Structures are given as C-alpha cells and as structure tokens.
Amino acid sequence: MAMPQCMWCKGVFPEENGPTHRYMESTPGCWAAYGRVLAREYEDQRYFAVHRLTVDAYAVQHPGVPGKQSIQSVAVHLIRLCLVLEQELPPEKANDAMLAAAKHKARYHWLEPATFLGPLTVADVEAASGVEEHSSMVRRWAEQMWQVWSPHHSTVRAWANVG
Ligand SMILES: [Zn+2]
C-alpha cells in the first residue's frame, strides 16, 4: 500500500490514525514523526540544543490555511529563523526578540507559501542517527525553510525590526 504523502512538506510517512495539529496542517503520519523527533530532543539535552530550530522549521513547512493563529504562527517562526540564521543572534536573544515581536500580532498578515516547501522534511531528521547528524540535519532543514520563504524575507525582516 502506498504511504500517504503530507500535503505540505510532501514527505511520505507510514499510515497513522492519530491526531494532527489544529492549524499546522499535516497528515497524521507527518505529525507523528514530528512528535517522535520532539521526544528525542526532550529526552536528551544534546539534541535539545537545536529544538527551537526544529519547531520553527516544522511550523513554517506546515502553514495551513489563512487564519488568525496560522498567520501568527508562520510570522513568529519566520521571525525567529531570520534572527537565528540570518542575523546570527544567540538563541536566547532570538527567542526574546521573537516573544517581543509576537506582541505585535495585529501587524501580521497571511504570507502566500511557495508551492513546494521541500525537499527536506521531518522524516530526514527522524532518519538521522546520533546527535551530530541530528543537529546538522535540523540546521539544514531550517536553512532550507528560511530559503523557501525568500519571497517574503523583506516583510519578515520588517516584522523582526531588522529590515
Ligand atoms: Zn508534513
């Protein structure tokens, strides 16, 4: 039987009957894989070092449909990717800046996602073995995600107050 393909990241994941997120739209199989990656990061501090990049990459790879929460989610996670990957802010500073930016949610609007947000997905992170491979795959995935949103970089920089 063919494995179902996620409508957003286009990854193929084993069939699942589990839940999905309310506004980060995905297939149950993709959501379950994300859950396993998060569990790996929560269980071991060495993996946890890249946890925020994992969350940001997943969120902006699964933007869902226009709505209050999806608009805010994509905005704040793109802001943090911008601050970490482009501005090279230390993680704590980037997080504080993201939280500060999140207070201005009225400014945000829907950003039209590219038709293809791959090719790396959470499946590639799950397949990584060992902390080094996991960390470098998360980093590559996050960098890819910042790149595929490049038509909106100037908007995100303005939201992050670095434009
Ligand atoms: Zn997916």
For all residues of the chain together, what is the average pLDDT? 94
Tokens of 36: 């396993």
What residue type is 90 in one-letter code? P
The model's pLDDT over 88-125, given as tens digits with 9 standing for 90+, comes to 998 889 889 888 888 888 899 999 999 999 999 999 99
- E strands along the chain, which residues? none
pTM for the structure as a whole: 0.95
What residue type is 67 in one-letter code? G
User: How much distance in Å is there from the Cα of 142 to the middle of ligand 1?
Assistant: 14
| pLDDT at res. 131 | 98
User: How much distance in Å is there from the Cα of 114 to the middle of ligand 1?
Assistant: 14
User: How much distance in Å is there from the Cα of 37 to the middle of ligand 1?
Assistant: 13
User: How much distance in Å is there from the Cα of 100 to the middle of ligand 1?
Assistant: 28
Quick check: 113 and 78 in contact, CB under 8 A?
no
User: How much distance in Å is there from the Cα of 11 to the middle of ligand 1?
Assistant: 6
The model's pLDDT over 42-94, given as tens digits with 9 standing for 90+, comes to 999 999 999 999 999 999 999 999 999 999 999 999 999 999 999 999 888 98
User: How much distance in Å is there from the Cα of 95 to the middle of ligand 1?
Assistant: 24
User: How much distance in Å is there from the Cα of 122 to the middle of ligand 1?
Assistant: 7
- The environment of the single-atom ion ligand 1, i.e. residues with CB closer than 5 A, is 6, 9, 26, 30
The angle formed by the CA atoms of residues 156, 134 and 21, to the nearest 5 degrees, is 55
| pLDDT at res. 98 | 86
Q: How far apart are CA 30 and CA 39, in angstroms?
A: 14
Q: State the DSSP string of 28-56.
A: HHHHHHHHHHHHHHHH-HHHHTTHHHHHH
